[in-house]
Amino acid sequence: MKKVPSKILALLMAVSVFGCVSSKTGFTPGTYQGTAQGFHGDITMEVTVDSGRILSVQAVEHTESPGISDPAFERIPKAIVDGQTLAVDVVAGASFSSRGIIDAVTLALEKSGADITALQNKTASSKAVRRDSKTETADVIVIGAGGAGLAAAIAANQSGATVIVLEKMPRAGGNTIISGAAYNAVDPSRQIPLGIEDSVDLHFTQTYEGGDKVGDPALVRTMVENAYPALQWMESLGMEFTPTVFTVLGGLWPRAHKPVKPLGTGYIDTDLEYINSHSSQITLLLETEATELITKNGRVTGVKAKGLSTDYVFNANKAVVIATGGFGANIELRDRFNSMWPALTNIKTTNHPGATGDGLVMAEAVGANLVGMEYIQLLPMGDPDTGSLSGNIEQNVENRIFVNKSGNRFVDEGARRDVMTKGLFEQQDAFMWVILDRHSYPNPDVKNNFNETIAELIAQGRAYGANSLDDLARQIGVNAENLKAAVADFNRAVETGGPDRFGRTLFQDKIDTPPFYAGAREPTVHHTMGGIQINTRAQAIDKKGNVIPGLYAAGEVTGGIHGSNRLGGNALADIHVFGRIAGTNAAAEK
């Protein structure tokens, strides 16, 4: 949440009291506000005008993603003031935020009596930016600077290749940097001391069967066998994980590793440290959007791209790696391929705004086969206002329950993600409360998996706390007797070890120690399991089943690994295992 300092706001509001209409421009001098929809919620912009000019444009309040949306809030207001026009370009990778800013400014200017049509048609007074053309060459070109792309770039460089990484967003990180960051891997060094029995075969079985046996068994086997070696590889680069493991939502087993740094920042920081220290061999270009794969005699040989002021041709001596992520933020593509869920048009997403499926379009244009596109994963854990995973109060699967608006449990809270979400859709308003107690938050300053303390969440009205279940029920508006019965039912199952009447088998502590906490959640689009078909070498496959020479793919842009449902914690394993494989093999191309 960002706000204009109160003194400046008061001064600007005072200006608006003395406005008068200008016959020349139609402006009524003063200060006006407009609010429009951004990517994660409302954006409120403030505009100050005099009788002849737009004097200032600034953000009053918004909940857009920090870093991702920042360039839009910096550039668009400046472009509007500099050009005295609403005909300004959106910022690549932050198009939803950009349009929200422009729409909010438009609404504010309407209040001033401005001629909106003239402002929308007016050519900016500043000179148009002249576009340059440039050609660059490297051994490997990587499209996308999320977890998979950066892993591919590092692995390629470690294999002796020079690398150029293209990222359309203003920052690196993709979905990885805003993820819950759980990483599944069979890890005896952490699991055995906790009394956890696990095996690669069990991880394979749970992944393959958890995706309804739709995934390619060879790809699943490659992922589970290489998950721990890839984790060790990351640790060799400086990545740090906590010394324990846990069961992540929909992960089915306690094998999820938690980074020391919050969210996915540890992965991306580690990658960028390597890239920065090898800058003579790896070039990372932000705000550079790949638009087309270049082919010659059936082989992918490079990439065409657009920068802010430059049109590029990037030639690859060896190969191209596509790591552009999924299409969870592309409503049109979601609706086109969705066959599993009710209409997704009004369902928010956990994804960053750049997850729009660009790589799928480019790959299909050169003959790549797309598989499993109908398999779209929803989580029951979206913030009701933004769809993001932030604000989720759960710490692990074993110590919390879900209740609906009546205060009743309705599903096995340790089940697959699709099972839990389908159960949630059957509840009133597809809405639930996560209920837990002091076992998850021994003190108010304990943070959730998104670097937020429970005290902060309560202060923001995003969570509720009480010393009794009766008081908690009153605060969240559910039937107290139902809530107490739901907790008692769960506690009895903890004593017996289950399964309970929902079939739940994952338990640890009772919910019996105040303070008790509740957090609201709704369904949200989280992951797209479909994408480019690849083999175990991460080579892209065409519609006839043949390898496309010179083209590799890794991460959420690929399909065939997770089947119809992805286990929680498997995405981070997937992107690093196959990112590493793609980079290594791309560097070895002849």
- Tell the residue number behind the tokens 């790549």, with chain if given: 368
Residue 280 sits in the same domain as residue 345: yes
Least confident interval from 62-71, 129-138, 301-310 = 62-71
Quick one: which of 46, 45, 44 has its CA closest to 15? 46
Contacts of 53 (CB under 8 A, 6+ apart): 84
Query: Band of the pLDDT at 67, cuts 50, 70, 90?
Result: low
Tens digit of each residue's pLDDT (9 = 90 or more) over 139-181: 999 999 999 999 999 999 999 999 999 999 988 999 999 998 9
C-beta separation of 362 from 548 below 8 A: no
Does a structural domain hold residue 229?
Answer: no
Predicted local confidence at residue 415, as pLDDT = 94
Does a structural domain hold residue 259?
Answer: no
Does a structural domain hold residue 218?
Answer: no
C-beta separation of 257 from 245 below 8 A: yes
Please report, for the domain that includes residue 564, its CATH number.
3.50.50.60
Residue 394 sits in the same domain as residue 497: yes
Query: Band of the pLDDT at 61, cuts 50, 70, 90?
Result: very high
Predicted local confidence at residue 126, as pLDDT = 46
C-beta separation of 94 from 68 below 8 A: yes
Please report, for the domain that includes residue 507, its CATH number.
3.90.700.10
Query: Band of the pLDDT at 128, cuts 50, 70, 90?
Result: low
Predicted local confidence at residue 342, as pLDDT = 87
Query: Band of the pLDDT at 324, cuts 50, 70, 90?
Result: very high
Residue 338 sits in the same domain as residue 385: no
Predicted local confidence at residue 132, as pLDDT = 94
Does a structural domain hold residue 254?
Answer: no
Cα(49)–Cα(46) distance, integer angstroms: 10
Torsion, CA 234, CA 152, CA 524, CA 354, rounded to 10: 130
Task: Identify each DSSP E strand in 442-528 by its residue range.
Answer: 463-466, 516-528
Residue 570 sits in the same domain as residue 463: no
Indicate the pairing of strand 558-559 with strand 531-533.
Answer: parallel
Predicted local confidence at residue 124, as pLDDT = 55
Quick one: which of 36, 162, 41, 173 has its CA closest to 108? 36
What is the enclosing helix (H) or strand (E) of 432?
strand 432-436
Total domain count, the chain: 3
Query: Band of the pLDDT at 129, cuts 50, 70, 90?
Result: low
Residue 536 sits in the same domain as residue 507: no
Tens digit of each residue's pLDDT (9 = 90 or more) over 241-251: 999 999 999 99
Residue 420 sits in the same domain as residue 486: yes
| φ/ψ bin of 428: left (φ > 0), alpha (ψ from -120 to 50), beta (otherwise) | beta
Residue 487 above 80 pLDDT? yes
Residue 330 sits in the same domain as residue 297: yes
Of 62-71, 378-387, 511-520, where does the model show the most confidence?
511-520
Which of 494, 524, 554 is a domain's end point?
A: 524
Residue 411 sits in the same domain as residue 436: yes
Query: Band of the pLDDT at 374, cuts 50, 70, 90?
Result: very high
What mean pLDDT comes out for the span 16-32? 60
Residue 462 sits in the same domain as residue 480: yes
What is the enclosing helix (H) or strand (E) of 582?
helix 570-587
Q: Which of 99, 400, 409, 417 is catalytic?
A: 417
C-beta separation of 506 from 247 below 8 A: yes
Does a structural domain hold residue 364?
Answer: yes
The pTM of the full predicted model, rounded to 2 decimals, is 0.82
Please report, for the domain that includes residue 106, its CATH number.
3.90.1010
Q: How far from 497 is each of 485, 491, 545, CA to CA, in Å?
A: 18, 10, 48
Residue 112 above 70 pLDDT? yes
C-beta separation of 143 from 316 below 8 A: no
Mean pLDDT of all residues in the chain?
Answer: 92
Give the rounded percent of residues in the chain with a pLDDT score beyond 70. Answer: 94
Does a structural domain hold residue 202?
Answer: no
User: Would you list the DSSP string of 438-451?
Assistant: TTT-SSTT-B-TTS
Tens digit of each residue's pLDDT (9 = 90 or more) over 326-355: 999 999 999 999 999 988 988 999 998 889
What tokens were used for 133?
């053309």
Residue 458 sits in the same domain as residue 415: yes
Residue 308 above 90 pLDDT? no
Which of 121, 153, 171 is a domain's end point?
A: 121
Cα(87)–Cα(465) distance, integer angstroms: 48
472 DSSP 8-state letter = H
Which of 75, 94, 121 is a domain's end point?
A: 121
Tens digit of each residue's pLDDT (9 = 90 or more) over 421-467: 999 999 999 999 999 999 999 999 999 988 889 999 999 999 999 99
90 DSSP 8-state letter = P
Predicted local confidence at residue 386, as pLDDT = 86
Query: Band of the pLDDT at 63, cuts 50, 70, 90?
Result: confident
Name residue 14's amino acid. Answer: A
Residue 164 sits in the same domain as residue 308: yes
Residue 72 sits in the same domain as residue 173: no
Does a structural domain hold residue 260?
Answer: no
Cα(247)–Cα(257) distance, integer angstroms: 9
Is 417 known to be catalytic? yes
Tens digit of each residue's pLDDT (9 = 90 or more) over 255-299: 999 999 988 999 999 999 999 999 999 999 999 999 999 999 999
Cα(153)–Cα(323) distance, integer angstroms: 10
Does a structural domain hold residue 243?
Answer: no
Q: Domain range holding 493? A: 378-524
Q: What angle do CA 339, 344, 348 make, to 5 degrees?
A: 140
C-beta separation of 202 from 251 below 8 A: no
